[in-house]
Amino acid sequence: MNNEELASAAWRQLREATLAGAPQPPPDAAADTTWQLIFDRIAPGDALDNGAYLMTAPISQPTNPDPTPNPSRRAPAARWLAASLAALVVVALVAVLTQFHSAPPAVGQHGGTVVVPTPRPFGGNGKCPAEYSNPGITHSIALGEISMVSPTEGWAVGGLDHFGTGVSQGILLHFINGQWVTDTDLANAQDITSLSMDSPTDGWLTVDVPNAQYGSLAHYDGQHWQPVPLPVVAPTQPPGTTYMGSNSFSNLTVRMYSATDGWIMPFQSQTNGQATLLHYDGTAWRIVKTPYISTDLKFYQFYDFAVTGPNELWIAGNYTDDSGTASSGQTVRIIHYLNGQWSASTNLPGGPNGTIDQIAMASSTNGWAYGEIGQGYPSVLLHYDGKSWQKAALPYTAADSLGGLAGLTTGPDGSLWAIETEGINGSIANTVSKKLVHLVNGQWQSQTLPNPSTDPLLPFQAGEVVPLANGDIWVMGDILHQRNCGPLEVTGIAQGVILQEHNGQWTQTIEPVG
Amino acid sequence: MSGDTQPDEAAWLAQIALGDPQALRALYDAYRPRLRRYLWRLLAGDAAAVEDCLQETFITVWRAAATFRGEGRVAAWLFRIASRNAAHARRHSASHPTEQLPDDGASDPRFEDLTPEAAILDRLSLGDALGQLSLKHRVTLELVFVYGFTVEEAAQILGIPAGTVKSRLSYARRALAQALVGEES
């Protein structure tokens, strides 16, 4: 057998073996059940699902939805709504009369005839106890970021989603005069994704515009938030560039070091070796490309970044080797930008495989990173001392696959703060934030967070902690309600919460406010 | 599944973009078996996670149908969405992915000639070799050989360069060639 025949035979046999070895799941018995869940979620009758809404105060429908309908979300919903309006009214009346849980959750058209879907039991899709089911929620309010400019003033952002209408609305909150109030400067914004205030009179935020080519920005001048256009980015990208699985330069995060220096990073992946960032130099946002680490290692995905000075940036992310001649796996790197020059960490403690998804830098010579690295992907906390990254002790056992840290940040004195989370029901898909942890002189201190959830079965997940110089601590997160109890559903319905510790006393604000 | 997007598939997406749930149901019925088998592999037989991913995939289709530009096959688009949902589910799963990459300490993969998998493939027979493949290698092979996607489509679905797909295939083929030589001698 010559080489050509050998290759041909090998190829044929490989194909046959792959075909024969493909996994065969058991007989499909869930097709209709899953379709029913899909159908329930695409139908505008979602809001009729169950009983009372859990918000502590009513939420009004947005009065100023984006005037440009989103073709992929609003148009179908709107057209569906029109087509099904009469039927929906009938079903709504039935739902009210039968106290919801025995009523059909939605209605739609199949095969040209109106079909009322089979009612779901009160316990959602049956994968969790009835008491887990979240009754009748029509909105999700998720808070994304908080930025305090003083003990008495701060800002917070997030997004509100109306399930029934598909309308999204940005949440912009201003803490002033001792309370959180809604700021209406950006009433038409959808999904405000991040916020960074560098002073009481200067700050930036980023806005997601679903299915648009770019996200957008807004700047605060001490009086008002004003929209600011993004520089054109995508046309400069090489073919194959994707941002969050599309060509949209969106889902942005902003971090300001000062009024004249800051960075914006999109959630992006696999951009042919280089990623695109935006750097503000005091006059304009300009494109900065991340480096090729080598001819083999190319950018794959970035997860978090921190700024430590003018023209200084740290990014945690993954690179991939796609040369075809060496490892094709991913390798985790922390890269550093200083005055136009890039450098990259060598392999981090634990090995090349894994993910670092949080980085918090107090200065150029003192910083922290957290993720999962090495065989079995155990949790890893790394400390940077100005020379190298080294493993540091976790506040929990690294092998505890249900433990985790969130909201990694540094305080005014450079010490590390975080939220310690733990899984519930044997899964980190459902995590609950129970402790505020603080690393002081190498020792972890912790205190139990108040649980803003009135239902012990609805977890509170904190995403941010902001320690202030006066000793006050702000924590922001969401109470997560479960709609159908599936793991992927859990994160979909949020109720934003802001906690404040002042003189040892915790107070809480639960959305809605203002 | 080879060939271009079927006309009715494109029509279904157009109808879905207009808010027609009947079209979504048709697409669901047509693709559920293949997507379920594919997700079964990606999610290590976790039936609940597979169903959740299927649900999320078609919800994404419902929301994003208008963005499908018809530049590729509907099948590749659907598998790409399913892959991303599966990756999301795996990241949030308590039992970490079935793929356990070796921890080689401070060594830098840039300076290794072969991945451990490639080395294994080099010395094992076909059956053994396929059994030893990592998840990412198996999935790559299956996308090409079982589901009939091109190298470029598999690359899009997995979010990796086409060169990586080719290299994963070539590793397996090279190992197989050596196994065949061994059988002859």
**Structure tokens belonging to residue A141:** 């309010």
| Chain centre to alpha carbon of residue B161 | 13
Residue A350: CA atoms inside 13 Å, Cβ hemisphere, count? 27
Which of B37, B109, B173 faces A23 most closely, judged by CB atoms?
Answer: B37
Confidence at residue B49, expressed as pLDDT on a 0 to 100 scale: 84
The C-alpha torsion from A240 through A241 and A243 to A246, rounded to 10°, is -30
Q: Which positions of chain A have pLDDT values less than 50?
A: 44-135, 239-247, 323-328, 425-430, 483-492, 513-514
pTM exceeds 0.80 for this model:
no
**Dihedral-angle region of residue A198 (phi above 0 means left; psi in -120 to 50 means alpha; beta otherwise):** alpha
Residues 18-37 of B with CB under 8 A from A: 18-22, 24-25, 28-29, 32-33, 36-37
- From chain A, the residues in CB contact with B36 under 8 A are 25, 28
B102 and A CB contact within 8 Å:
yes
DSSP string for residues in B70-136: SSS-HHHHHHHHHHHHHHHHHHT-SS--S------TT--GGG-SS-HHHHHHHHS-HHHHHHH--HH
Closest CA to A205 of A187, A217, A223: A217
The CA distance from A66 to B64, in Å, is 18
Closest CA to A37 of A423, A487, A495: A487
Q: Phi and psi at residue B37, in whole multiples of 5°?
A: -65, -40
Q: Check CB contact under 8 Å for A31 and B59.
A: no
- From chain B, the residues in CB contact with A28 under 8 A are 32-33, 36
Secondary structure, 3-state, A58-105 = CCCCCCCCCCCCCCCCHHHHHHHHHHHHHHHHHHHHHHHHCCCCCCCC
Q: What is the pLDDT of residues A309-333, one digit of tens each?
A: 999 999 988 776 554 333 345 678 8
Closest CA to A26 of B46, B55, B141: B46
Q: Give rounded-to-5 percent helix, strand, coil for chain A.
A: 15, 45, 40
Q: How many CB atoms lie within 10 A of CB A127?
A: 16
Q: What is the pLDDT of residues A57-105, one digit of tens each?
A: 222 222 222 222 222 222 222 222 222 332 222 233 223 222 222 222 2
Confidence at residue A275, expressed as pLDDT on a 0 to 100 scale: 78
Q: Check CB contact under 8 Å for B110 and A294.
A: yes
Q: Phi and psi at residue B120, in whole multiples of 5°?
A: -65, -45
Under 8 Å between Cβ of A55 and A494 = no
The CA distance from A160 to A150, in Å, is 26
Q: How many CB atoms lie within 10 A of CB A466?
A: 20
Closest CA to A204 of A180, A226, A173: A226
B158 and A CB contact within 8 Å:
no
pLDDT in tens, chain B (185 residues): 434 455 578 888 888 888 888 899 999 998 998 899 888 877 777 788 889 889 989 988 887 787 676 656 788 888 888 887 777 676 555 333 333 222 222 222 222 233 444 444 444 455 555 655 566 677 777 787 777 777 767 777 776 656 667 766 766 665 555 555 554 44
DSSP-derived pairing of the beta strands A473-480 and A494-502: antiparallel
Under 8 Å between Cβ of A208 and A193 = yes
The C-alpha torsion from A458 through A451 and A359 to B136, rounded to 10°, is -20
Closest CA to A380 of A411, A353, A361: A353
B154 and A CB contact within 8 Å:
no
Confidence at residue A106, expressed as pLDDT on a 0 to 100 scale: 25
- What single-letter amino acid sits at B2? S
- Top residue of A11, A14, A128, A296 to mutate, by most chain B CBs within 10 Å, is A14
B50 and A CB contact within 8 Å:
yes
User: Can you name the residues that pair with A360 across neighbouring β-strands?
Assistant: A368
**Structure tokens belonging to residue A245:** 């699985």
Instruction: Classify the complex by whether its ipTM is higher than 0.85, answering yes or no.
Output: no
- Top residue of B50, B61, B63 to mutate, by most chain A CBs within 10 Å, is B63
Confidence at residue B20, expressed as pLDDT on a 0 to 100 scale: 87
Confidence at residue B48, expressed as pLDDT on a 0 to 100 scale: 84
